[in-house]
Amino acid sequence: MKRDFRWFAACIAACAALFALPVAAQTALRMNISVAQNSHYGVAIDTFAREIEKRTNGRYKIQNFYSGALGAERESIEALQLGTLDLTMTSTGPVPNFVPDIAILDIPFLFRDYAHARTVLDGPIGRQMLDKFEAKGIHALAWGENGFRNMTNSKHPVNAPEDLKGLKMRTMENPVHIQAYRAFGIIPTPMAFTEVFTALQQGTVDGQENPLSVITSAKLDQVQKYLTLTGHVYSPALILMSKAQWDKLSPADRQAFEDAAREAVKANRARIDDDERKAVADLRAKGMQVVENVDKAKFQAALAPTFAEFGKKFGQENIDRIRNYK
């Protein structure tokens, strides 16, 4: 009898000790993107979430939301400033409304190719630009990638800039794009990406422009007939965090978030490289008519008047520094 009591008392003591152990608190952070989970951003934020859980030993957990579930890109950036959202991955589309200097990157035909864009953004120029977000209540963790943008429409094939004249095209809410596309003779209609599929389906707009990764992940082949590989502008992306949340992190956790963002961008860029290899064949198989051989010099020449204006706005030496960066 006495032995049973001792055994029972030992069990009680062990349980009490177990409950006394300090259970590491877990902080859940919400992250939102405007495109589907099966996309170049979806693979990035899912990688980010795995890396954060691993690198903080579960002290931080990222709850991911896709397809604009918590808002479109502009609303997500505003929510970071308000502290009602913790993280987002976004194109630079709406960013000039918050950090105007970043708009220089949205100038058409600024980057030669993906290698050039990635080298600039991963180097000192990109670093300087990330630092500009702090004053706006946002911590920019890393440059990601959306891709080179191409034109789609439902009216007719686009073989040359003059074929764009009169087309009502959805654009991002980006002042540089809107100004440039007018030079093509396009009627620009800015709207959030979350509204684009319906607008195309209902014929509110004739077309839009986006990288192949967005065109495929958003299934725009279901509402667009013609695609032209204009590659008229490189579209950077950003992994952004609410500064209020960033400021709460320990130095070690800040390093973990930076490292996780780096892994996310690797996955993001790898997915884009894969999409760029496969998308044209996939889209053709789904019925899109694709113009692949585009005289880009003609499209660039059509924008000449706006390049002079961008030179005055951003400083020609700043544009040349990016354009000529090796």
Nearer to ligand EAX, 161 or 236 (CB): 236
Q: Provide, rounded to whole angstroms, the least separation between the CB of residue 73 and ligand EAX.
A: 5
Count of CB atoms situated within 10 Å of the CB of 150: 25
* DSSP H or E run through 187: strand 187-190
Cα separations (Å) of 303 from 1, 277, 296, 306? 94, 28, 11, 6
Amino acid sitting at position 200: L
Per CB under 6 A, does 35 bind ligand EAX? yes
Q: Which is nearer to ligand EAX, 193 or 310 (CB)?
A: 193
Single-letter code of the amino acid located at 209: E
Which is nearest to 112 in space by CA: 123, 120, 101?
A: 120
At closest approach, how far in Å is the CB of 91 from ligand EAX? 3
The structure tokens listed for 131 are 């630092």
Under rule CB under 6 A, residue 91 binds ligand EAX:
yes
Q: Residue 41 Cβ, how far from ligand EAX at the closest point, in Å?
A: 7
Alpha helix (H) residue ranges in 31-113: 42-55, 73-82
Please, which of residues 47-86 interact with ligand EAX by CB under 6 A? 73
Judged by CB under 6 A, the residue of 176, 214, 283, 303 near ligand EAX is: 214
Residue among 161, 34, 158 at smallest CA distance from 108? 161
Smallest gap from Cβ 161 to ligand EAX, in A, equals 20
Residues 225-254 within binding reach of ligand EAX (CB under 6 A): 235
- Which residue of 143, 181, 184, 193 would you call a contact of ligand EAX, by CB under 6 A? 193
In this structure, the dihedral spanned by the alpha carbons of residues 32, 38, 42 and 44, taken in order and rounded to 10 degrees, is: 180
Residue 93 binds to ligand EAX (criterion: CB under 6 A): yes
Which of 146, 179, 228, 268 binds ligand EAX (CB under 6 A)? It is: 146
Q: How many residues bind ligand EAX (CB under 6 A)?
A: 11
Other CB atoms within 10 A of residue 203 CB: 11
Under rule CB under 6 A, residue 87 binds ligand EAX: no
In this complex, which beta carbon is closest to ligand EAX, that of residue 256 or of residue 264?
Answer: 264
Pairing of strands 226-242, 87-91: antiparallel
Query: Is 88 a binder of ligand EAX (CB under 6 A)?
Result: no
Q: Provide the residue type at 324 as one letter.
A: N
Instruction: State how far the Cα of 217 lies from the Cα of 299, in Å rounded to an integer.
Output: 26
From residue 267 to residue 286, the character string flagging contacts with ligand EAX as x (rule: CB under 6 A) and all else as - is --------------------
Burial of 97 (0-12, 13-18, 19+ CB in 10 A): middle
CB of 121 to ligand EAX, least distance (A): 15
Number of helices and strands (H, E) in the chain? 13, 9
Site membership for ligand EAX, residue 210 (CB under 6 A): yes
Which of residues 110 and 256 has its CB atom nearest to ligand EAX in the complex? Answer: 110
- Under the binding rule (CB under 6 A), the answer on residue 161 touching ligand EAX is no
Contact residues for ligand EAX (CB under 6 A)? Answer: 34-35, 73, 91, 93, 146, 172, 193, 210, 214, 235
